[in-house]
Amino acid sequence: MQNTDSLEQRSMIEAPSFDVIIVGAGFAGMYMLHLARELGLTATVLETAPGVGGTWFWNRYPGARCDVESMQYSYSFCEELQQEWHWSERYASQPEILKYANHVANRFDLLRDIRFNSRVESAIFHEGEDVWQVSTDGGEHYRAKWCVMATGCLSAAQRPNIPGLGTFKGEIYHTGNWPQEPVDLTGRKIGAIGTGSSGIQVVPELAKLAKHLYVFQRTPNFSIPARNQPMDSAYETEWKQSYAQRRTAARTMPAGIFTDIGTKSALAVSADDRLLEYERRWAAGGTGFTGAYSDLLKDEDANSTAAEFVRKKIREVVTDPAVATLLAPVDHPIGSKRICADTNYFSTFNRQNVTLVDLRSNPLQEVSENGLTAGSQFYELDTLVLATGFDAITGALSKIDIVGRQALTLKEKWRDGPNTYLGLMTSGFPNLFIVTGPGSPSVLTNVIVAIEDNVKWIADCLAHLKTRGAETIEATASAEEGWMEHVGQAAEGTLYTKAKSWYLGVNVPGKPAVFMPYVGGVPTYQKICEEVAADGYKGFVIEGRSESLSARQAVG
Ligand SMILES: Cc1cc2nc3c(=O)[nH]c(=O)nc-3n(C[C@H](O)[C@H](O)[C@H](O)COP(=O)(O)OP(=O)(O)OC[C@H]3O[C@@H](n4cnc5c(N)ncnc54)[C@H](O)[C@@H]3O)c2cc1C
């Protein structure tokens, strides 16, 4: 025991030391590394995967693609980068986005400061020294003054707890952790569980390959045709001619997406006009559909006009009326769960080799060696595809043993739900920043916009701390309390809380049901973040080492 302790202490003292440790090499971690370097800080990135790209490294399932248009779902921080890169489709596929992430890594020479195959298991704040010690599954230790969690909102794949899953003799694939080597599903009897965004993307592709595909659905979801197509060169040119202006304009829109948003109430126009508008948006395709009217996510009556329009479309596309009824969502307002964009999802259920199994009336009982039983029916399967989503927003953080002041663990602190100030920091955990953390707009936006804005704010903050020669920055408990109250109030006035969604964490057994993202929108959030910084980082305590104790006592 003695020996282990001293070994541990020695490796801690000898641990490589940096100004900043960044956890995660997705779009957030890569940009953070780039900006840390520009500040002249020493930085390293620790990443579980053997490559960059985050989401786009892990989600290699057939059909995976973005649902924010690629001209927007990309970095905006470098004009040359956005001019030189060419997207081949309106919505890029996973391989192309991963290629882009690698292009960025090479272009900005990021790889030399990223340690791959390094899963962070713990991050412990050493109070006396004001240093974070970060340890990986490989037994390596690193030290840094600042630690940035760029671990992603949708990076902790959620495996369902189905009795007997471990006994299945066929292959099991999770969409969020798809194998890196090619998977041949041709001629297989496939069971797909889950009909959220990933399920809706993967099902049409599986159907093309499978001998038979059984889609096991608990909750139907709203989806709008993506109308994906090869990139129109005139459209690309139009964007590139005014890229910077369009990126700026996007940041004035609630979701950080440059699009046309209706300013009228859905109830203030005639039924005929509404129909025309919904048809126009349906034909244009994409998730901008819910931007048709200003109150679609606020007023249930307004919302039901859009929901009913989509349900009618589903009934038109799906030839079997009983199947159409099962596919048409009735238990939540449209947009209150992440709205999906699909390619031939609903028409896939017209294929002879596809069967929809409704788990509400035929509950999933067990998986056995050769298949799955739902209701009283046994389905023989070769392959199971789990499109069961993520332990969203807090999942990746909760898998790390994060220990702050006075041995407080983040798990303990967030036992009843996550508390942050601006989604960026949490009190009791000095110098620990979170990118797109709970309490920030994150998954309600074009996430790359949310990432860029958070990362830039953190970098500006680090520059400020460096200039001041500060040792620590920490959110005050009262600022955090005020922010969480504001986050809760913002959600209350909307329909987001009317759905049992992963925004609330209810897809994860035992997770407290708290609405996690900030619904106030990108412009409001960004304005608040900027004001906080301009006001000398109001709501944060910034300390030099000698001041630290007295200042903390003063704050209480
Ligand atoms: C299928 C899919 C489609 C999506 N489409 C869109 C879209 O169209 N538009 C949009 O705005 N958003 C979309 N998203 C959300 C997407 O997650 C974000 O857009 C963005 O890619 C997140 O980047 P990130 O760097 O914050 O996180 P991630 O890309 O998730 O990267 C986090 C990285 O951290 C690593 N990591 C986590 N924990 C640890 C640890 N303990 N130690 C070391 N490394 C760790 C992970 O391995 C991962 O590589 C989609 C998500 C999915 C799953």
Phi-psi region of 198 (alpha: psi -120 to 50; beta: other; left: phi over 0): alpha
- The mean pLDDT value for 547-554 works out to 45
Ligand 1: centre distance to CA 318 (Å): 33
Question: What are phi and psi for residue 212, nearest 5 degrees?
Answer: -145, 140
Question: Residue 7's pLDDT is what?
Answer: 55
What is the rounded CA–CA span in Å between residue 283 and residue 285?
A: 5
Question: Residue 243's pLDDT is what?
Answer: 98
Instruction: Kindly report, residue by residue over 299-326, the tens digit of the pLDDT.
Output: 999 999 999 999 999 999 999 999 999 9
Atom of ligand 1 nearest to the CA of 30: 25
pLDDT at 549 over 60: no
- The mean pLDDT value for 453-476 works out to 96
Instruction: Kindly report, residue by residue over 174-191, the tens digit of the pLDDT.
Output: 999 999 999 999 999 999
Instruction: Kindly report, residue by residue over 12-27, the tens digit of the pLDDT.
Output: 667 899 999 999 999 9
- Around ligand 1, the residues with Cβ closer than 6 Å are 23-29, 46-49, 54-55, 57, 59, 64, 66-68, 73, 119-120, 150-155, 176, 198, 396, 399-400, 435-436, 446-448, 451
Whether 47 contacts 25, CB under 8 Å? yes
* Amino acid at residue number 369: E
Question: Residue 165's pLDDT is what?
Answer: 97
Place of tokens 């109430």: 265
Ligand 1: centre distance to CA 393 (Å): 10
Question: Residue 539's pLDDT is what?
Answer: 98
Whether 501 contacts 338, CB under 8 Å? yes
Q: How far apart are the first and last CA of the chain?
A: 38
Question: Nearest 5°: CA angle at 357, between 351 and 362?
Answer: 165
- The mean pLDDT value for 473-490 works out to 97
- The mean pLDDT value for 118-141 works out to 97
Q: Whose CA is nearest to atom 19 of ligand 1?
A: 447
Instruction: Kindly report, residue by residue over 347-366, the tens digit of the pLDDT.
Output: 999 999 999 999 999 999 99
The answer to whether the Cα torsion of 296, 297, 303, 306 is positive or negative is positive
Q: Whose CA is nearest to atom 30 of ligand 1?
A: 152
The helix/strand/coil state of 217 is strand
Atom of ligand 1 nearest to the CA of 197: 1
Give the HSE-up count for residue 374: Cα atoms under 13 Å, Cβ half-sphere: 23
For residue 397, what are its two tokens? Answer: 């953080």
Residue 497: name the closest of 290, 323, 332 by CA.
332
pLDDT at 546 over 90: no
- The mean pLDDT value for 374-380 works out to 96
Instruction: Kindly report, residue by residue over 49-93, the tens digit of the pLDDT.
Output: 999 999 999 999 999 999 999 999 999 999 999 999 999 999 999
Q: Whose CA is nearest to atom 16 of ligand 1?
A: 55
pLDDT > 90: percent of the chain:
93
Question: Residue 445's pLDDT is what?
Answer: 96
Question: Residue 8's pLDDT is what?
Answer: 58
For residue 169, what are its two tokens? Answer: 């003799």
Question: Residue 6's pLDDT is what?
Answer: 58
For residue 236, what are its two tokens? Answer: 């690309």
Whether 496 contacts 336, CB under 8 Å? yes
Q: Whose CA is nearest to atom 34 of ligand 1?
A: 24
| Contacts (Cβ under 8 Å, ≥6 apart) of 356 | 215, 217, 323, 326, 327, 349
pLDDT at 108 over 80: yes
Instruction: Kindly report, residue by residue over 25-52, the tens digit of the pLDDT.
Output: 999 999 999 999 999 999 999 999 999 9
For residue 220, what are its two tokens? Answer: 């139907």
pLDDT at 335 over 90: yes
For residue 323, what are its two tokens? Answer: 């199947």
Residue 256: name the closest of 448, 440, 438 by CA.
448
Give the HSE-up count for residue 554: Cα atoms under 13 Å, Cβ half-sphere: 9
Q: What is the DSSP string of 358-381?
A: ETTTS-EEEEETTEEEETTEEEE-
Q: Whose CA is nearest to atom 9 of ligand 1?
A: 68
| Contacts (Cβ under 8 Å, ≥6 apart) of 56 | 26, 64, 94, 97, 98, 101
Instruction: Kindly report, residue by residue over 510-543, the tens digit of the pLDDT.
Output: 999 999 999 999 999 999 999 999 999 999 999 9
What is the rounded CA–CA span in Å between residue 462 and residue 459?
A: 5
pLDDT at 554 over 60: no
pLDDT at 135 over 90: yes
What is the rounded CA–CA span in Å between residue 130 and residue 146?
A: 9
What is the rounded CA–CA span in Å between residue 404 and residue 430?
A: 7
Distances (CA, A) of 455 to 34, 150, 392, 450, 528: 10, 9, 20, 8, 15
Question: Residue 26's pLDDT is what?
Answer: 98
Ligand 1: centre distance to CA 402 (Å): 20
Q: What is the mean pLDDT of the chain?
A: 95
Ligand 1: centre distance to CA 155 (Å): 5
Ligand 1: centre distance to CA 55 (Å): 4
Residue 469: name the closest of 542, 410, 392 by CA.
542
Instruction: For the beta carbon of residue 496, count every other beta carbon within 10 angstroms.
Output: 23
Instruction: Kindly report, residue by residue over 258-269, the tens digit of the pLDDT.
Output: 999 999 999 999
What is the rounded CA–CA span in Å between residue 374 and residue 176?
A: 24
Place of tokens 């964490």: 505
Question: Residue 3's pLDDT is what?
Answer: 47
What is the rounded CA–CA span in Å between residue 93 and residue 56?
A: 9
Mutate to test the pocket of ligand 1, among 155, 342, 343, 424 (most ligand atoms within 8 A of CB): 155
For residue 447, what are its two tokens? Answer: 């996430």
Give residue 556's pLDDT band: very low, low, confident or very high (50, 70, 90): very low
Instruction: Kindly report, residue by residue over 220-261, the tens digit of the pLDDT.
Output: 999 999 999 999 999 999 999 999 999 999 999 999 999 999
Question: What are phi and psi for residue 414, nearest 5 degrees?
Answer: -100, 20
Atom of ligand 1 nearest to the CA of 154: 17
Ligand 1: centre distance to CA 53 (Å): 8
Instruction: Kindly report, residue by residue over 408-462, the tens digit of the pLDDT.
Output: 999 999 999 999 999 999 999 999 999 999 999 999 999 999 999 999 999 999 9
Distances (CA, A) of 319 to 315, 346, 352: 7, 10, 12
